[in-house]
Amino acid sequence: MVSDDSDVQGGDTTALALKILVAGGFGVGKTTLVGAVSEIRPLRTEELLSEAGQLVDDTDGVDQKVTTTVAMDFGRITIRSGLSLYLFGTPGQDRFWFLWDELSQGALGAVVLADTRRLEDCFPAVDYFEHRHIPFVVAVNCFSGARSYGAQDVARALDLDQGTPVVLCDARDRDSGKEVLIRLVEYAGRMHTARLLDSVG
Protein backbone atom coordinates (compact mmCIF):
# COMPACT_ATOMS: atom_id res chain seq x y z
CA MET A 1 0.00 0.00 0.00
CA VAL A 2 1.55 3.30 -1.09
CA SER A 3 0.52 6.78 -0.01
CA ASP A 4 1.78 9.87 -1.75
CA ASP A 5 1.27 13.46 -0.62
CA SER A 6 1.72 16.04 -3.34
CA ASP A 7 1.22 19.77 -3.73
CA VAL A 8 -0.83 20.53 -6.84
CA GLN A 9 -1.30 24.15 -8.00
CA GLY A 10 -0.78 25.49 -4.51
CA GLY A 11 -3.36 23.20 -2.88
CA ASP A 12 -2.59 20.12 -0.85
CA THR A 13 -4.08 16.95 -2.28
CA THR A 14 -3.51 13.51 -0.89
CA ALA A 15 -3.30 10.76 -3.46
CA LEU A 16 -3.63 7.17 -2.30
CA ALA A 17 -2.27 4.32 -4.40
CA LEU A 18 -3.23 0.77 -3.47
CA LYS A 19 -1.45 -2.36 -4.64
CA ILE A 20 -3.70 -5.14 -5.95
CA LEU A 21 -2.68 -8.58 -7.17
CA VAL A 22 -4.49 -10.40 -9.98
CA ALA A 23 -3.91 -14.14 -9.63
CA GLY A 24 -5.34 -17.44 -10.79
CA GLY A 25 -4.57 -20.43 -12.95
CA PHE A 26 -2.84 -20.63 -16.30
CA GLY A 27 -4.85 -19.03 -19.14
CA VAL A 28 -7.68 -17.78 -16.94
CA GLY A 29 -7.57 -14.16 -18.17
CA LYS A 30 -5.24 -12.29 -15.79
CA THR A 31 -3.37 -10.43 -18.54
CA THR A 32 -6.68 -9.68 -20.27
CA LEU A 33 -8.20 -8.18 -17.10
CA VAL A 34 -5.19 -5.97 -16.35
CA GLY A 35 -5.11 -4.79 -19.97
CA ALA A 36 -8.85 -4.10 -20.08
CA VAL A 37 -8.99 -1.87 -17.00
CA SER A 38 -5.59 -0.17 -17.12
CA GLU A 39 -5.62 3.50 -18.08
CA ILE A 40 -1.96 3.31 -19.04
CA ARG A 41 -0.43 0.99 -21.58
CA PRO A 42 0.06 -2.15 -19.46
CA LEU A 43 3.51 -3.57 -18.92
CA ARG A 44 3.51 -7.21 -20.01
CA THR A 45 6.16 -9.90 -19.71
CA GLU A 46 4.68 -12.42 -22.10
CA GLU A 47 6.66 -14.97 -24.05
CA LEU A 48 5.58 -17.44 -26.71
CA LEU A 49 4.73 -20.87 -25.40
CA SER A 50 7.54 -23.26 -26.26
CA GLU A 51 7.51 -26.98 -26.84
CA ALA A 52 9.47 -27.39 -23.60
CA GLY A 53 6.85 -25.36 -21.72
CA GLN A 54 4.03 -27.43 -23.14
CA LEU A 55 5.53 -30.45 -21.39
CA VAL A 56 5.03 -28.83 -17.96
CA ASP A 57 2.08 -26.46 -18.51
CA ASP A 58 -1.43 -27.89 -18.56
CA THR A 59 -2.98 -26.35 -21.68
CA ASP A 60 -6.19 -28.40 -21.57
CA GLY A 61 -9.08 -26.03 -22.21
CA VAL A 62 -6.79 -23.23 -23.40
CA ASP A 63 -5.61 -24.75 -26.66
CA GLN A 64 -5.72 -21.36 -28.43
CA LYS A 65 -3.26 -19.78 -25.98
CA VAL A 66 0.10 -19.01 -27.61
CA THR A 67 1.79 -16.76 -25.01
CA THR A 68 2.28 -16.85 -21.25
CA THR A 69 3.27 -14.37 -18.54
CA VAL A 70 6.73 -15.15 -17.19
CA ALA A 71 7.13 -12.41 -14.57
CA MET A 72 4.13 -10.10 -14.12
CA ASP A 73 1.68 -7.75 -15.77
CA PHE A 74 1.39 -4.19 -14.51
CA GLY A 75 -1.36 -1.63 -14.97
CA ARG A 76 -2.98 1.32 -13.22
CA ILE A 77 -6.57 2.46 -12.84
CA THR A 78 -8.06 5.48 -11.07
CA ILE A 79 -11.14 4.46 -9.11
CA ARG A 80 -12.01 8.04 -8.11
CA SER A 81 -10.20 11.31 -7.54
CA GLY A 82 -7.30 10.66 -5.16
CA LEU A 83 -7.56 6.85 -5.30
CA SER A 84 -5.59 4.76 -7.78
CA LEU A 85 -4.95 1.05 -7.96
CA TYR A 86 -1.67 -0.45 -9.10
CA LEU A 87 -2.40 -3.86 -10.59
CA PHE A 88 0.14 -6.66 -10.58
CA GLY A 89 -0.83 -9.75 -12.57
CA THR A 90 0.94 -12.86 -11.32
CA PRO A 91 2.15 -15.72 -13.52
CA GLY A 92 -0.16 -18.72 -13.40
CA GLN A 93 2.21 -21.66 -13.69
CA ASP A 94 3.52 -23.23 -10.50
CA ARG A 95 7.13 -22.95 -11.66
CA PHE A 96 6.82 -19.16 -11.33
CA TRP A 97 5.17 -19.11 -7.90
CA PHE A 98 8.43 -18.08 -6.22
CA LEU A 99 7.62 -14.58 -7.57
CA TRP A 100 4.37 -14.39 -5.62
CA ASP A 101 5.98 -13.66 -2.24
CA GLU A 102 7.77 -10.66 -3.70
CA LEU A 103 4.71 -9.39 -5.55
CA SER A 104 2.42 -9.75 -2.52
CA GLN A 105 4.55 -7.48 -0.30
CA GLY A 106 2.42 -4.45 0.63
CA ALA A 107 -0.67 -5.59 -1.27
CA LEU A 108 -4.07 -4.45 -0.02
CA GLY A 109 -5.71 -7.51 -1.49
CA ALA A 110 -6.07 -9.77 -4.51
CA VAL A 111 -8.44 -10.83 -7.26
CA VAL A 112 -8.42 -14.58 -7.90
CA LEU A 113 -9.71 -15.18 -11.41
CA ALA A 114 -11.52 -18.47 -11.92
CA ASP A 115 -12.69 -20.44 -14.94
CA THR A 116 -15.53 -22.84 -14.09
CA ARG A 117 -14.25 -25.26 -16.76
CA ARG A 118 -11.00 -25.61 -14.76
CA LEU A 119 -12.02 -24.47 -11.29
CA GLU A 120 -9.34 -26.56 -9.60
CA ASP A 121 -6.67 -24.34 -11.21
CA CYS A 122 -7.45 -21.50 -8.80
CA PHE A 123 -7.11 -23.62 -5.62
CA PRO A 124 -3.40 -22.73 -5.19
CA ALA A 125 -4.14 -18.99 -5.35
CA VAL A 126 -7.04 -19.31 -2.88
CA ASP A 127 -4.84 -21.30 -0.48
CA TYR A 128 -1.98 -18.81 -0.86
CA PHE A 129 -4.06 -15.77 0.10
CA GLU A 130 -6.03 -17.54 2.83
CA HIS A 131 -2.84 -18.74 4.57
CA ARG A 132 -1.28 -15.27 4.41
CA HIS A 133 -4.49 -13.51 5.51
CA ILE A 134 -4.54 -11.35 2.38
CA PRO A 135 -8.12 -10.30 1.57
CA PHE A 136 -9.29 -11.51 -1.83
CA VAL A 137 -12.33 -11.87 -4.01
CA VAL A 138 -12.94 -14.67 -6.49
CA ALA A 139 -13.92 -13.32 -9.90
CA VAL A 140 -15.44 -15.94 -12.19
CA ASN A 141 -14.44 -15.09 -15.74
CA CYS A 142 -17.52 -16.04 -17.76
CA PHE A 143 -16.11 -17.64 -20.91
CA SER A 144 -18.49 -18.25 -23.79
CA GLY A 145 -19.52 -21.89 -24.00
CA ALA A 146 -18.76 -22.57 -20.34
CA ARG A 147 -21.55 -23.81 -18.11
CA SER A 148 -22.77 -21.00 -15.87
CA TYR A 149 -22.70 -21.38 -12.09
CA GLY A 150 -23.95 -19.03 -9.42
CA ALA A 151 -21.67 -17.31 -6.92
CA GLN A 152 -22.85 -19.59 -4.09
CA ASP A 153 -22.06 -22.71 -6.13
CA VAL A 154 -18.52 -21.49 -6.79
CA ALA A 155 -18.01 -20.52 -3.14
CA ARG A 156 -19.05 -24.00 -2.02
CA ALA A 157 -16.91 -25.74 -4.65
CA LEU A 158 -13.84 -23.75 -3.53
CA ASP A 159 -14.67 -24.16 0.19
CA LEU A 160 -14.13 -20.44 0.72
CA ASP A 161 -14.12 -18.85 4.15
CA GLN A 162 -17.51 -17.41 4.96
CA GLY A 163 -17.93 -13.90 3.61
CA THR A 164 -15.31 -14.17 0.86
CA PRO A 165 -16.96 -12.44 -2.11
CA VAL A 166 -17.52 -14.27 -5.40
CA VAL A 167 -18.40 -12.11 -8.40
CA LEU A 168 -19.14 -12.93 -12.03
CA CYS A 169 -17.24 -10.91 -14.62
CA ASP A 170 -16.03 -10.59 -18.19
CA ALA A 171 -12.27 -9.96 -18.02
CA ARG A 172 -12.38 -8.33 -21.46
CA ASP A 173 -14.80 -5.62 -20.36
CA ARG A 174 -13.44 -2.53 -18.60
CA ASP A 175 -16.60 -1.77 -16.62
CA SER A 176 -16.94 -5.38 -15.49
CA GLY A 177 -13.30 -5.46 -14.37
CA LYS A 178 -13.66 -2.14 -12.57
CA GLU A 179 -16.66 -3.48 -10.62
CA VAL A 180 -14.54 -6.44 -9.48
CA LEU A 181 -11.81 -4.08 -8.26
CA ILE A 182 -14.27 -1.84 -6.43
CA ARG A 183 -15.75 -4.90 -4.71
CA LEU A 184 -12.26 -5.97 -3.64
CA VAL A 185 -11.32 -2.53 -2.27
CA GLU A 186 -14.55 -2.39 -0.25
CA TYR A 187 -14.07 -5.92 1.11
CA ALA A 188 -10.38 -5.43 1.91
CA GLY A 189 -11.19 -2.15 3.65
CA ARG A 190 -13.73 -3.89 5.89
CA MET A 191 -11.28 -6.71 6.66
CA HIS A 192 -8.40 -4.37 7.54
CA THR A 193 -10.69 -2.23 9.72
CA ALA A 194 -11.95 -5.31 11.57
CA ARG A 195 -8.39 -6.50 12.20
CA LEU A 196 -7.36 -3.07 13.46
CA LEU A 197 -10.29 -3.00 15.87
CA ASP A 198 -9.46 -6.53 17.07
CA SER A 199 -5.86 -5.51 17.72
CA VAL A 200 -6.86 -2.61 19.95
CA GLY A 201 -9.83 -4.33 21.58
Question: pLDDT at position 99, please?
Answer: 82
Q: Are 135 and 184 in contact (CB under 8 A)?
A: yes
Task: Give the dihedral sign, CA 48/76/132/99.
Answer: positive
Question: pLDDT at position 63, please?
Answer: 52
Residue-by-residue pLDDT tens, the chain, 201 positions: 555 544 444 444 568 999 999 999 888 999 999 999 999 988 866 555 445 445 444 545 545 544 554 457 899 999 889 999 999 998 876 666 778 898 899 999 999 999 999 999 999 999 999 999 999 999 999 988 778 899 999 999 999 999 999 999 999 999 999 999 999 999 999 999 999 998 886
Helix and strand totals (H; E) in the chain? 6, 9
- Mapped onto helix, strand or coil, the DSSP state of residue 189 is helix
Identify the bridge partners of residue 23 per DSSP, sorted by sequence position.
112
Question: pLDDT at position 12, please?
Answer: 44
Measured between alpha carbons, how far is 37 from 75 in angstroms, rounded to an integer? 8
Question: pLDDT at position 143, please?
Answer: 86
Query: Measuring CA to CA, how many Å separate 21 from each of 48, 98, 117, 161, 176?
Result: 23, 15, 22, 19, 17
Question: pLDDT at position 17, please?
Answer: 94
Identify the bridge partners of residue 7 per DSSP, sorted by sequence position.
12
